[in-house]
Structure 1
Amino acid sequence: METSPRRITGQGLALMASSERRPRFMSAVLETCAQHGEYTSLLLPGGWSACVKCEHAAEAAATAAAQASWQAELRTRAWEARLGRAAIPERFSDRRLGTYVPTCDEAERALRMVTRYADNFAAVRKAGACLILCGDVGTGKTHLAVGVAHVVLEQGGQAVFTSVMRAVRSVKETYAKGNPKTEAQAIADLVEPDLLILDEVGVQHGSDTEKLVLFEIINGRYEAGRPTIVISNLAIKLLEEYLGARAFDRLREGGGQLVVCDWESYRSRRAA
C-alpha cells in the first residue's frame, strides 16, 4: 500500500536548517526570533532553548488568563452569595423591571417611578429614601419591588426580600431556649442590607409584639439610613394605621415615595 509523502512545514524546514547549522560540540548559538530579533539558544537536556522573551510573554499571558479566570470565579461566587441571601421567592426570581408590562397609564407611571428609584439607587441609598407600594392584589407590586432588588444586586449591593410574617418569626425564634442568636442580632440582620423589601404588610392583624418588632426593623433602618420597600394590599390610610404614625412617617421621610397601585389585577385579566 502506498503511503502519502510526509508534509514538512516552513517552520519545520527552518528548524531542520537551524539544527544543521548547530555543531554538536557547541552549547550556545545565536538564533533569530521573528518578533524579538537575535537571541542566544542554549543546548539543554530537552533540546535547544527558544526565545526567552517569547517564553516570558507566553508565561505572562498564561498568568493573566489564570488571574482573569479566578477574578471571574470570585465575582460569580459573590453574586451567588448575594442572590442566595436575597431570598427572593422562586415564583418571582425572574422578575425584572424590563419585563414588567404596564396595562394602563397608571401602571406605566408606577413603572417609571420605580425604575427611576432603581436607576438612582446610589443617591437613594445615601438618602435612605424608602418606597411604599400599596393597593389592590395582582397589580404587579411584588414584580416591581423584585425588579429593584435585581438592580441593587447587579450593582454589587445587598437586597433582602422577606414577608413581615417571616421577619417577625426570625426575631421571635430567638426567644427559644438554647438559641445562640439574640433578638438584637436578628433585627440587625434585617437592618444591615442596602435594601430590605417587606412584603405582605398588614395581611393579618398582628399582635402588639409583632407590630413592635416591625417598628424596630423600620426604625433601625431609618436610623441607619437604609432604604426599605414596603408592599401592602392595604389602602394608604389603613396602612398608616397598621404601621403606626411613627413608622409611617419614617418611611415617607428623606424623599420616601408612595406608589398607589389601584388598577385592574393582572390575574383577573388572565382569568378573563
Structure 2
Amino acid sequence: MMEVSKVIQDLDTATHNCDQHGEYQSQHVKLRSTQFWTTCPQCADKDNKGDEQKIIDDINAGRRQAVMNNTMQRAAIPPRFMDRRFANYRATCPNSAKALETVREYAENFADSLAAGRSLILMGTVGTGKTHLAASAAHALIAQGYTAVFTSVLSAVRSVKETYGHGATQTERQAINALIAPDLLIIDEVGVQFGSATEEMILFEIINGRYEQMKPTIIISNLAMGPLKEYLGERVFDRLREGGGKAVVFNWDSHRAKAAA
C-alpha cells in the first residue's frame, strides 16, 4: 500500500501533444523498475474499445460457427455428399449446365421461393448429379442462415413408423412436423420402389403439410415424369408444381458410368 502511495506522490504532469487529438495532460509514472509518460487518454480509450470489440466479434463468430455446426448436423446430409458444391459440379453438356444454373438460381433466390412456397423436382437418369446439386443447394442455404434437411423417402417413412412402437419418444404428428419445420426439405430416392398405402399416406402428409405452410421441397427421383406423377399422386405432384415450381429433367449420360469406363 505504501508503494502505491509513493508512486502517486512521485507523479509529474506535463502537457504533451497527440497528432490525432491535440494537447493532453501526461503524467510521468515512476515505478520501482521503470518509468514512463502516460499516452493520450483518447487514443488509449480507443485502443481499449478496439480490444473489447475484437473480443465481442470473436465471441459472436464462435456463436455463429456453433449455430452453423448445429444446423449442418441437423441437415443430415450424407457423408458422401458433404463436399458437394455448385463449384465442383461438372457440367458435361448444355442440359447439365442448364440444370446447374437452375438449381443455383433457386438457392441464390431462395427468399423468393420461400415466400411463394416454390418447390423443385429433379428427375431422370441415374448418376447425372441430381443429389450433388440438391446437396449444393442445402449447403448454400445453410450458409445464408436457412435450415435445410436431407432425407430419403425410406428414412422419412421410417422416422414416422418408429412412433408406432411401444416406448416411442415422440408422436406420429411430432415426427411429421419435424419434416415440415425446415425451410427446405430434400427428399431423395423418391419412387425407388412403389410403396405401400401407408408409405404414400405419410409422404402425402409431409408434402401437403409443407405445401400448406408455404415450405419449399426438393424432390429427387430416377423416375420419368409419368411414373413419378403416378407414384406421388396427382394432388401431390400439382402441389410441387404450384407457385412456379419447376421440374428439371436429367436426361444425359451418367457421370458414374463414364468414370468407370
TM-score (norm 2): 0.89
SS in 1 for 2:170: coil
How far apart are residue 204 of structure 1 and its match?
1.5
Distance 1:25 1:157, change over 3 A: closer
Trace 1:164-183 onto structure 2 (pairs within 5 A).
164-183=153-172
Out of 182, 186, 189, which is 1:200 matched to? Answer: 189
Q: Between Structure 1 and Structure 2, whose CA radius of gyration is higher?
A: 1
Given the alignment of the two structures, is residue 29 of structure 1 paired with residue 13 of structure 2, yes or no?
yes
Number of residue-to-residue matches in the alignment: 250
Q: Please tell me the residue identity of whatever aligns with 1:105.
A: P
Q: Please tell me the residue identity of whatever aligns with 1:151.
A: A
Kept in 1: contact 2:229–2:237 (CA 8 A): yes
How far apart are residue 158 of structure 1 and its match?
0.7
110-119 or 212-221, which moves further after superposition? 110-119
How far apart are residue 159 of structure 1 and its match?
0.8
How far apart are residue 126 of structure 1 and its match?
0.7
Trace 1:30-179 onto structure 2 (pairs within 5 A).
30-35=14-19, 36=21, 37-41=23-27, 50-51=38-39, 52-179=41-168
Post-superposition Cα deviations, 1:116-157, rounded to whole Å, max 9, x if no partner, equal 212211101111111001111111110111111111111110
Q: List structure 1 runs of 4+ shifted beyond 3 angstroms.
A: 24-28, 33-36, 42-49
Taking the aligned partners of 1:133 and 1:243, their CA distance within structure 2 comes to 14
Q: Please tell me the residue identity of whatever aligns with 1:244.
A: G
Taking the aligned partners of 2:258 and 2:11, their CA distance within structure 1 comes to 85
Taking the aligned partners of 1:31 and 1:76, their CA distance within structure 2 comes to 48
Identity of aligned residues (%): 49
SS in 1 for 2:122: strand
Q: Please tell me the residue identity of whatever aligns with 2:70.
A: A
SS in 1 for 2:244: coil
Q: Please tell me the residue identity of whatever aligns with 2:146.
A: G
Equivalent position of 1:263 in the other structure: 252
TM-score (norm 1): 0.86
Out of 184, 204, 210, which is 2:199 matched to? Answer: 210
SS in 1 for 2:223: coil
Taking the aligned partners of 1:40 and 1:136, their CA distance within structure 2 comes to 78
Post-superposition Cα deviations, 1:13-71, rounded to whole Å, max 9, x if no partner, equal xxxxxxxxxxx965442242544423142758776662333332221111011011111
Taking the aligned partners of 2:133 and 2:222, their CA distance within structure 1 comes to 14
How far apart are residue 207 of structure 1 and its match?
1.1
SS in 2 for 1:134: strand
Taking the aligned partners of 1:186 and 1:130, their CA distance within structure 2 comes to 21
